[in-house]
Structure 1
Amino acid sequence: MAARTPTSTSRAELIADAALRLLAERGMRGLTHRAVDEAAGLPQGSTSNYARTRQALLETAVRRLAEREAAVLTPDELPVPDGGMDGLVDALALALHRYLTRHRELLVSRYELALEATRRPELREFYDATGSQFREPLKALMAAAGSTEPERHALSLAAWCEGLMFSCAAGSYHAAVPEPAELRTGFREQLRGMLGG
């Protein structure tokens, strides 16, 4: 049986996934075009042919990171806009638990890319634009849950989530992953503080 030749889409995903894996395993210094070729099992020059510059390679990684993060929860697992606090708490706790138990690589690669974006204005602009696809839905969910200041509350909730994810993925709590029930309690406490009741 002949080996299947990757299509441009699957080759692009192979390259981007290998880049994310390298970022998580080796950090920013380990991300080179040649290393991506090796990690993806592609002929030398494949990554350079797809993403000619380092900036293009970083943008490829950011774009794929956003795609993979968006898939952590399937569309039917997202809370309905008028589902109240319980639906929101359940969905957020499920997503956070999945990140910490199944997607640590994504978290670590995101931290690498975020830090690099602080040093590269051209990457900062791309990183922020890509990340906005997550901010707007969170603001809408906060508004639907009864927030009178959805933008401020969305920022506070995202910051709490980011702090917890960092602590459990790369910080001093890296060996301890909260159980879903603990996460639900934490989210409920956060949301009650913001929304009252």
Structure 2
Amino acid sequence: MSVNTASPSRAELVADTALALLAERGMRGLTHRAVDEAAGLPQGSTSNLARTRQALLELAVRRLAEREARVLAQHEMPDPRAGGLDSLVDGLALATHRALTRNRELTLARYELALEATRRPELRTYFDATGARFREQLSALVTAMGSTDPERHVLSLVAWTDGLMFSCVAGSYHARVPGLDEVRAGLRELLGGMLGAGKRVV
């Protein structure tokens, strides 16, 4: 990754500001100068940290992955071995609902970066690598729940949650965010069909 070494606080500030600009202004509004201004940094600070636009985008993707991983902290994820299907549904519903509400800005920024990655092969590789870690964790969870086809089930689950988030953040349902109970009900139907409504890990 072509980003210069700098103090974590400065790198996080630049990356967080870049994500906020992506959510507020879109890809065209993300420039080194705009980040400096929005972050209250001296002119040239962002360029010193990330010399090129590609480097700035990579910095934003890395920070996005770090922050999204904290949307549902690992210690908050229920152990499916203890609670079975309901436990898995509760954890995923909480993460999805947070992405729709208090982390809506991050979700918008992710869609901006995902679209840009379709035009930049070098960013596509980087973006996909960060997403692979989440899919691996999800695969381990559904495997523990007895999935007979984890790869296909993870694809369906990611497609369902991404579709819900896009519809409610940027699509035709943007004016109506579903409540936590509604998200939980949808995931229960989906995962129950995949894994069996009565299954529990023993």
Counterpart-to-counterpart distance in 1, 2:160 and 2:71: 18
Query: Which amino acid is 2:163 matched to?
Result: G
Query: Which amino acid is 1:181 matched to?
Result: D
Q: TM-score, normalised by structure 1?
A: 0.95
After superposition, give the CA deviation of every residue in 1:124-177 in whole Å (9 maximum; x if it has no partner). 011011111101000001111111111110110010000000000000101111
RMSD between aligned alpha carbons?
Answer: 1.0
Aligned pairs for 1:58-73 (under 5 A) are: 58-73=57-72
Counterpart-to-counterpart distance in 2, 1:131 and 1:51: 22
Gap runs ≥5 in structure 1: 1-6
Structure 1 residue aligned with 2:142: 142
| Maintained 8 Å contact 1:143/1:150 | yes
Structure 2 residue aligned with 1:4: none
Counterpart-to-counterpart distance in 1, 2:23 and 2:165: 15
Counterpart-to-counterpart distance in 2, 1:84 and 1:152: 20
Structure 2 residue aligned with 1:130: 130
Report the CA distance between 1:196 and its aligned residue. 2.3
Report the CA distance between 1:81 and its aligned residue. 4.3
Counterpart-to-counterpart distance in 2, 1:76 and 1:9: 24
Query: Which amino acid is 1:76 matched to?
Result: H
Counterpart-to-counterpart distance in 2, 1:33 and 1:101: 28
Report the CA distance between 1:13 and its aligned residue. 0.4
Tell me whether 173-182 or 11-20 shows the greater mean CA deviation: 173-182
Counterpart-to-counterpart distance in 2, 1:133 and 1:46: 31
Q: TM-score, normalised by structure 2?
A: 0.92
Structure 2 residue aligned with 1:40: 39
Runs of 4+ in structure 1 deviating by more than 4 angstroms, as ranges, are none
Report the CA distance between 1:79 and its aligned residue. 2.3
Instruction: Report the CA distance shift for 1:81/1:87 in structure 2 as closer, same or farther (over 3 A).
Output: closer
Paired positions, count: 191
Aligned pairs for 1:1-197 (under 5 A) are: 8-82=7-81, 83-197=83-197
Counterpart-to-counterpart distance in 2, 1:101 and 1:166: 12
- Report the 3-state secondary structure (helix = DSSP H, G, I; strand = E; otherwise coil) of the residue aligned with 2:64: helix
Counterpart-to-counterpart distance in 2, 1:12 and 1:154: 33
Counterpart-to-counterpart distance in 1, 2:80 and 2:97: 22
| Maintained 8 Å contact 2:146/2:195 | yes
Gap runs ≥5 in structure 2: 1-5, 198-202
- Report the 3-state secondary structure (helix = DSSP H, G, I; strand = E; otherwise coil) of the residue aligned with 1:102: coil
Counterpart-to-counterpart distance in 2, 1:130 and 1:180: 26
Tell me whether 78-87 or 120-129 shows the greater mean CA deviation: 78-87
Query: Which amino acid is 1:12 matched to?
Result: A
Identity between Structure 1 and Structure 2 (%): 74
| Maintained 8 Å contact 2:80/2:87 | no
| Maintained 8 Å contact 2:58/2:126 | yes
| Maintained 8 Å contact 1:84/1:144 | no
Query: Which amino acid is 2:31 matched to?
Result: T
